Chains A and B, each alone.
Chain A
Amino acid sequence: MTRSRPELERALAEDPFDLVTRKEYARALEDHGEAAAALRQWELICRQQPDSAAGFLGAMRCHHALGAPEQAAACLREAEAKQDFSPETKPARPAPALQVLAGGGDVRPAEVLQLRPSAVRFDDVIGHAALKKILEVRIIAPFVRPGLFARFGKRAGGGVLLYGPPGCGKTLIARAIASECRASFLAVGISEILDMWLGRSERNLAAVFDRAREQRPAVLFFDELDALAFSRSKAHTDHTRTLVNEFLNQLDGVAHDNQGVLILAATNMPWDVDPAMKRPGRFDRQVFVPPPDDVARAEMFRVKLADAPTGTIDFMRVARATPHCSGADVDGVIEAAKERVLTEILGGGPERPIAESDLLAAAKDLQPSTLEWLRTARNLVKYAGDGSYRDVEDYLKSARLL
């Protein structure tokens, strides 16, 4: 529920460190065209939460509105340096675009924002063909065509948990799902929820769900779910248990209607997530995001090296030399190969493009970051008899790790 300005002001007077309220207040000021006042609020948010991009993006919008493009650019640079920065949260063409379109009559800022040229589509996600097909049928189609699915007794929304080794594109897939669903995308990291003040984490969580419900159709994405919904049986303190209880309460939708809100989550450690989170009606659909296969890795190398000087490279051969590597590992191989070439050139060698041998040598030195995760998952499949990891089992068998 949207609060009025006096309500927000009262709430802030009571608790000046309530960042959620302050952000809401700053946005309200922006909506009323009070850019200077909103800027003060966003600057305060930047100071209270210096590791988040939200404050700097807000300040950027205000600077634009106040006709200070240099300061706006500086704020954008600051925002881009933050971990939680997402290109989608950056307005596509903030003030100048609106000025150009102003003569067009019925174009509203919201529509400009909805274009989102930088939004990730499924086509942008390299590889994972089978996974994308499953996601399209099981998640996106019910969301985009709720009428059809309603006739078959299936509802849109609910929870989906993406799990797998780190660096394999879970977050990217979540963003792509949001784009394909044509829904608002709210990405939530642990820093947005976990708060040092008692009870505030639960309130932050509730506020995030409220915002998603206000903006439905919406995709609410929780990164690192294991930290937010840590297994209560492993927890030593009541704080963790309270947060999980609140999470369950929000997911169950007893007091709230989550229809039209697709709740996505990603985790590297699904075994640390509280088992209650995986029950029907919550994150009952768990999707394994495996490391990219040979074809996908070859395509990654081709795309990522497109702008770099390269000789003739058999990308498939390089891909085969990097088994089990994640997308992040592929980046690592490319960087190491570039470094190798540059070291040679700086050492007095002739200037030359990146050769296949550089990539193969870099690949030889690399230990895939997914291996540790896969070994851990192997314990689950081999010894724990946990039937909920069938996809992992299939992958391990196909990769001859089982």
Chain B
Amino acid sequence: MSELHGLQHQIGRLLEVGRPRDARALVGKALALDPADPDTLCLAGRVELAQEQRGEAERRAHEALARAPGHDGARSLLFDVLLADKRHADAEEVVLERLRDDPADPDALADYAQLLVQVFQLDKARALVAEALRRAPDHPSAQVLDAVLHVIRGDDLAAADRLARLVAADPEAAHVAWTAMLVLGERGHHRQALEIGRQLLRRSPDDRELVDAVIEQRLASHWSMIPLWPLLRGGWVASAILWAVAVFGLILLRPFVSELALLGFAVLYLALMLYSYVGPPLLRRWLRWRGF
């Protein structure tokens, strides 16, 4: 291994352990050895991206591509930068170029699917994930996306099946735990999902999205949400059904029960509706403020 390769290895390692500043010092050394090396330029871009310097990261990616057109690492870096910047059209162009060069590249297929999930092109994303998994059945990002897409589709059983495969492959990986939390939450196992979320939070307490997700799971598993279980589980469909049942139920019951009982049912129903609007946001605020 040459000194340059050694430095590149060290930079990658420092990035992995969250030391982009230390990595930056080594990038300088590596660039001094070979300023035109595309791998080093990519790593320089990764260092910038880790420090939220997306403009500089993009510049490094273009620099690497200028030296080595079609460089996988550089295109992947550019895609990540554009996706982080939410420049979806530009990101699509980059990933399409990768697919033109190699239509069977599972990484590119999974990246494209990820982009399409972000812009809610779910059918296309599903097709791409299926293709990625056909090419590489153990591809971790494709497996996660597959599970997520099944959750979005409401196919809990298929999602649980994908999750089982992920857990078998790497039970300790954070992305697997994330997926597990999502799938369990979707299947209504909020307590289990909450426990996984809390375990994840112990490892990444600075992840705001995770904090929000854990609060949501706690909310869904809170005893005060039991009366709203059908609404929380079924969403707007359950609300609509409940409305219809209540209105038609009251009309149909009218000849058989007293006015007072009907009034009682109506008040109960309206109280439930009111609680469904007011209860969860209030509880969410309470949980966020008080903790659990």
Chain A residues with a Cβ under 8 A of chain B: 51, 190-191, 194-198, 224, 226-227, 230-237, 239-240, 269, 271-272, 376-377, 379-386, 402
Contacts and interface: CB of A to CB of B under 8 A. Distances in A.
Contact of B17 (A197, A226, A383, A384): A226
Contact of B10 (A195, A236, A376, A383): A195
Nearest to A201: B13
Contacts of A383: 198, 201, 211, 214-215, 218, 291-292
The residue in B13, B14, B18, B290 that gathers the most chain A C-beta atoms within 10 A of its C-beta is B13
Nearest to A372: B206
A240 B6 CA distance: 15
19 contacts: A191-B22, A194-B10, A194-B14, A196-B9, A196-B26, A197-B1, A197-B6, A198-B9, A226-B18, A227-B14, A233-B172, A233-B203, A235-B17, A271-B205, A272-B18, A379-B206, A383-B198, A383-B211, A384-B198
A240 B15 CA distance: 11
B174 interface: yes
B245 interface: no
B85 to A, nearest CB: 23
Given A196-B3, A236-B16, A384 B205 contact: yes
Nearest to B3: A196
Interface of B: 1, 3, 6-7, 9-10, 12-14, 16-19, 22, 25-26, 172-174, 198, 201-206, 211, 214-215, 218, 290-292
Contact of A190 (B12, B19, B172, B201): B19
Contacts of B19: 190, 224, 227
A142 B14 CA distance: 36
Contacts of A386: 198, 202
B283 to A, nearest CB: 14
A190 B19 CA distance: 10
Contact of A233 (B1, B173, B201): B173
Contact of B16 (A230, A233, A379): A230
Contacts of A230: 16-18
A385 B17 contact: no
Contacts, number: 88
A271 B204 contact: yes
A381 B198 CA distance: 11
B211 A379 contact: yes
B206 A376 contact: yes
A381 B214 CA distance: 13
A191 to B, nearest CB: 8
The residue in B173, B174, B205 that gathers the most chain A C-beta atoms within 10 A of its C-beta is B205
Given A227-B19, A269-B18, A237 B13 contact: yes
Given A271-B203, A383-B211, A198 B1 contact: yes
Contacts of B203: 231, 233-234, 271-272
A69 B23 CA distance: 36
A402 B288 CA distance: 11
A55 to B, nearest CB: 17
B10 A196 contact: yes
B198 A385 contact: yes
The residue in A191, A235, A384 that gathers the most chain B C-beta atoms within 10 A of its C-beta is A384
B40 to A, nearest CB: 13
Contacts of B201: 379-380, 383-384
The residue in A224, A239, A383, A385 that gathers the most chain B C-beta atoms within 10 A of its C-beta is A383
A311 B206 CA distance: 42
Nearest to B172: A233
Nearest to B177: A233
Nearest to B208: A379
B181 to A, nearest CB: 13
Contacts of A197: 1, 6
Contacts of A190: 19, 22
